[in-house]
Chain A
C-alpha cells in the first residue's frame, strides 16, 4: 500500500527550523480576520519528507531512465548543462518586479538573453517577431488565435470559424472555442493529409483562421501546404502553425517562408527543456508582418545608448497574458540548448529524428498495420492495432501496457483519433540504435504474443507498483484530497 504523507504524520514533528525573528511583540489581528484552525498540513521530519518523496520518485518513468516513444510529445534527452545554468543566482533569484519599476540596469543580462532568444527563434522559423510570454503550447495557441481575433476585429471582418483538420491536437479546437470561435473540422483524405476539396468547401469569408500542424500528427508532410495557405489568404483567413512537430523540420523548412502568419513552439519539446512531469513548458509565439502590432505586452529592444529596454506597447496589442516573461527559466534553458547545437546541430537534429522514425516504420510495418507505410514518414510514425483487436481482442492499450513492463514507456495510443487503435511513435533523435532495436523487438514480441495468447495481456504490466487502475471507479467515487 502506498501511504500518503498525511498517513505518516505524527503530532509534534517538524521538518524545518524557521529563522528566528527578534522584533518586538506585535499586536494580534482581530479574530474576524484570522482563521479558526491551523491548516492541517502533515507533521513530518525533514528525513521523513526526503524518504517519502525519494520513494515516490522511484515509482516514475523518466526520460533519464526510460525510452519514451510518445508521438507528438518529442521526449528527447534534456542536457544537464541547462540545469546548471538555470541555477545561477543571477537568473534564479532575480526579481521580476524590477520590470515594473523599470530598473533596466538591474536586469541587462536577462533582457539580453530574451532578445537573443527572440532573434534566434525568428531565424529558425522565418517569422518576423516573437512574444516569449506564453507559458505552454496551449497558452501560445490561445495568444495566436487572440491576435488573429484582434486582427479581424480591427479590419471589421465578420469571422466566426476556425478550421482544424480531424488529425489535430485537442488543444487546437479547445483554443479556438476559448477565444470565442466555432470550430469546423475538416476530414483527412486517404493519404492522411487534410482533404483539399473538403477544405475548399469549408472555406468561406467567415473563416478567421486555419490551424495546421506541420508535419501533421500522422507524421506526414502535406505537400499542398502552400496551396492551403494561399487559399486561406484569399479569404483573409490567417494561417496558424502548431509547432508541436517542429523537431521534424528544423533547418529544412521555415513556416514563415511558406506563408504562415503565426506559429507557436513548444520549447519543452523541440528545444529539449525538461517536461517536469507535466510542466513547466514554454510556448513562444512568432508572427509575420500582419500580426506584429497585436503582440502581447512585454517585449525587449536594444540600442547602443540605452542598452536593453522595454518596447512601448502597441495600442493594438492584445494586452497581458502572463505576469512577466512567462516561464523565463525555461526560456533560458532552451537558449542554452540552441547555442550548444548551433546551426549544424539543429539541422542534424531533424535529420536524425526523421531517420530514427523511419527506421522504426521500416522495421515494424511488416508486423503491424501501418496505414501510411508506402511513403516515408517524418519524425513520427503511426500504426494501427485494429487487426489485432478484431482477430484476438488485443487493443492498442494492451500493447502499451505490455511495453511498460519492459521499461519502455507506452507510445501515444488512440491518437490521432482518425486511426482506429492508433499507436503513434516518436523516437526523437537522441535515442541510439540499440534502444530502438530493443523497442522494435518488444513491439514484435507483443504482436506475436497477441496471436498466441491474447488473454495474457490482461495481466500487463506485472512488474510495476500498480496494474490497470479502475478509472471508472475513480470518477464515480471521487477521492481527490486526503480526509482524516
Chain B
C-alpha cells in the first residue's frame, strides 16, 4: 500500500503489544449499525498513472494566450528563487510554528514578512496573513465593528472589487450591521454623497485604490471627514500599486487590506493566494490571526515567537477576535522572498513599469474612433474600454486572435454592457500591445 510502511511482521508485532489478534478489532468501539453503508471508490493508481490523468486535465485548461486579464489576479513575473526557496520541504512540509524552538525559520520569515508589509503600506502592525483579499476585507470590517462598539453602519465604495464586496456582505449578514454599497456610475468617488452619509453612526468606509476600474484617486478629504466623526477608513489595494502610489499611511487610513497573489504567487485558478491585513498600532488587539514578535531566549539570544496569542481561538475560544487558525503561510513566505528580491528600487521600478505599460496601451486605444475610455481619473495598470460590440463578442474575437483581452464587466455590474477591464503588467511587451491594438482595430 502506498504511504503505509507496515510489513505483515510489523503489524503482528504491534497487535501483540496492543493485545488483540486482528486489525479489524481496532474498530470494535464503532457499533456495527454505524459502519459505512457504501464506499464505492475507484482502485488506487500508481503515481505515474495519476500524473498522466492530471496532465490530460491540465491540457484541457487554456493558458496559451497573451493575457490582458486582471481584475484582482494578475500575471506578474515570478523570479526562479521564489519557487526554489518555497519548494524547500523544510518550509512547505513544516507545521504551524507553535513550538518556537523547532520553527525559527518560519517565524523569522513571518517577522520579515510583517516588516515588509508595514514598509509597503506604512501601517504599524500586520498579521501573518489571511486567506485572500476578500476575506481580509471582511475581517477588516469586523474589526471596525468591534472598535466602533455601537456603530453599525459600513459604507463600501463603488470602486471596491465586487467579489470582495460579496464576501464582506456574506460575513456581515450574521452581525447586526447595515451595509451600504454605493452604486458604480463612474470611476470616480461620489464625494458629495459620501460626505452626506458620514455621521456618528458609521463604523467605517471601505475604499480601494486603485479602484476596480483601475482609477487612482486621493481619498484624504473623505478620510478626514470620517475621522472627524471617529469613524474608520479602510483602504484596500493591489500591493504592486503601492510601489508608487500613496501608501495607506499617507492616505491616513486606519486599516489596510489587500490580496497578495501579485507578490510572487501563481494565478492557480484563484488560489492559494493570501490576504493582507494591517492596521495602526492602537488597533492591534483587534487584529485577528497570528502575529510574530521578537524576544530573547533563556540565554539572551534573539528569538522569534508567536505573540499576543490571547486574541486567538486556541486560547480565547468564543471570545477570540476571529476563528482563523490555518492561514496562507507559504504564500506569505513567497511574497517575502519576492519583495526581498525586488528590494527598494526594484519594487518601485516594477510598479512604474506597470503604470507605463498600461498607460501606453490606454493612450493608444483612446486614439481609436470606436473605443471610449471609461476612466476619467488617472489609471495605474488597468482601465475600462467601451466598445461598440458586446463584450462577449469582443472577448471571443480577441481570443481567436490569441489574446485573453480582459474582463467582461457586465458579469459584475448592471448596465455595464460593452465594457471590458483591460489589465497590463510588466510582462506585456510593446510588441504584444501593438499587436493587441491591431487586432482591436480589426474587430471594432
Contacts and interface: CB of A to CB of B under 8 A. Distances in A.
Contact of A84 (B51, B106, B166, B329): B51
Contact of B41 (A123, A323, A471): A123
B131 A400 contact: no
A359 B18 contact: yes
Interface in A17-50: 18-19, 21-24, 26-27, 29-30, 32-36, 38-44, 46, 49-50
A277 B334 CA distance: 12
B93 A64 contact: yes
B37 A254 contact: yes
B296 interface: yes
A284 interface: no
B305 A469 contact: yes
Given A23-B357, A146-B170, A62 B94 contact: yes
Interface stretch (A69-77, A231-239, A387-395, A442-450): A69-77
Contact of A170 (B297, B313, B346, B404): B313
A288 interface: no
A314 interface: no
Contacts of A63: 89, 93-95
Contacts of B125: 480-481
Interface string B244-286: 1111001000000001000000111111111000000000100
A248 to B, nearest CB: 9
A323 B17 contact: no
A270 interface: no
A120 interface: yes
Contact of B269 (A91, A108, A415): A91
A78 B90 CA distance: 12
Contacts of A345: 1-3, 44
Nearest to A100: B411
A139 B95 contact: no
A322 B131 contact: yes
A98 B405 CA distance: 11
A309 interface: no
B169 to A, nearest CB: 6
Contact of B323 (A171, A252, A296): A171
B281 to A, nearest CB: 8
A321 interface: yes
Contact of B268 (A81, A92, A257): A92
B320 A348 contact: no
Interface in A362-412: 362-363, 375-376, 378, 400-401, 404, 409-410
A195 interface: no
Contacts of A76: 3
A280 B331 contact: yes
A430 B38 contact: no
Contacts, number: 697
A470 B299 CA distance: 10
A252 B36 contact: yes
A16 interface: yes
A154 B41 CA distance: 36
A157 interface: no
Given A34-B244, A96-B73, A404-B101, A77 B268 contact: no
Most A Cβ at <10 Å: residue of B132, B217, B427: B132
Interface string A437-478: 000000000000000000000100100111111110111011
Contacts of B412: 100
A355 interface: yes
B3 A70 contact: no
B168 to A, nearest CB: 9
Given A39-B242, A90-B61, A479 B294 contact: yes
Interface residues of A, number: 206
Contacts of A183: 317-318
A78 to B, nearest CB: 6
Contact of A123 (B40, B59, B298, B353): B40
A50 B337 CA distance: 9
A142 interface: yes
A83 to B, nearest CB: 7
Nearest to B281: A478
A34 B111 contact: no
A338 B45 CA distance: 9
Interface string B113-130: 011101110001110110
A46 B15 CA distance: 53
B426 A344 contact: no
Given A16-B79, A278-B106, A400 B61 contact: no
Interface in B343-379: 343-350, 353, 355-357, 359-360, 363, 378
Given A23-B357, A359-B14, A404-B102, A274 B340 contact: no
Interface in B82-113: 84-85, 87-97, 99-106, 108-109, 111-112
Contacts of A272: 3
A252 B27 contact: yes
A346 interface: yes
Given A5-B340, A135-B272, A280 B102 contact: no
B106 A60 contact: yes
B305 A339 contact: no
A27 to B, nearest CB: 8
A92 B266 contact: yes
B81 A15 contact: yes
B58 interface: yes
B114 A467 contact: no
A280 B163 CA distance: 21
A474 B293 contact: yes
A221 interface: yes
A254 B442 CA distance: 58
A286 interface: no
Contact of A464 (B102, B119, B167): B102
Interface in A271-328: 272, 274-281, 296-297, 318-328
A58 interface: yes
A418 interface: no
B319 interface: yes
Nearest to A345: B44
A100 B29 contact: no
Nearest to A308: B60
B351 to A, nearest CB: 9
B342 interface: yes
Contacts of B315: 170
Given A328-B268, A359-B17, A136 B88 contact: no
Contacts of A432: 5-6, 10
Given A90-B61, A183-B317, A322-B167, 16 more contacts: A18-B349, A81-B47, A91-B61, A98-B69, A136-B324, A138-B326, A173-B317, A177-B319, A178-B322, A268-B326, A275-B95, A321-B167, A322-B270, A376-B20, A415-B314, A433-B10
Q: Which A-B residue pairs are the 8 nearest by beta carbons?
A: A342-B44, A90-B58, A324-B270, A109-B60, A96-B270, A276-B330, A278-B329, A280-B272
6 contacts: A38-B348, A40-B344, A62-B92, A174-B318, A345-B44, A478-B284
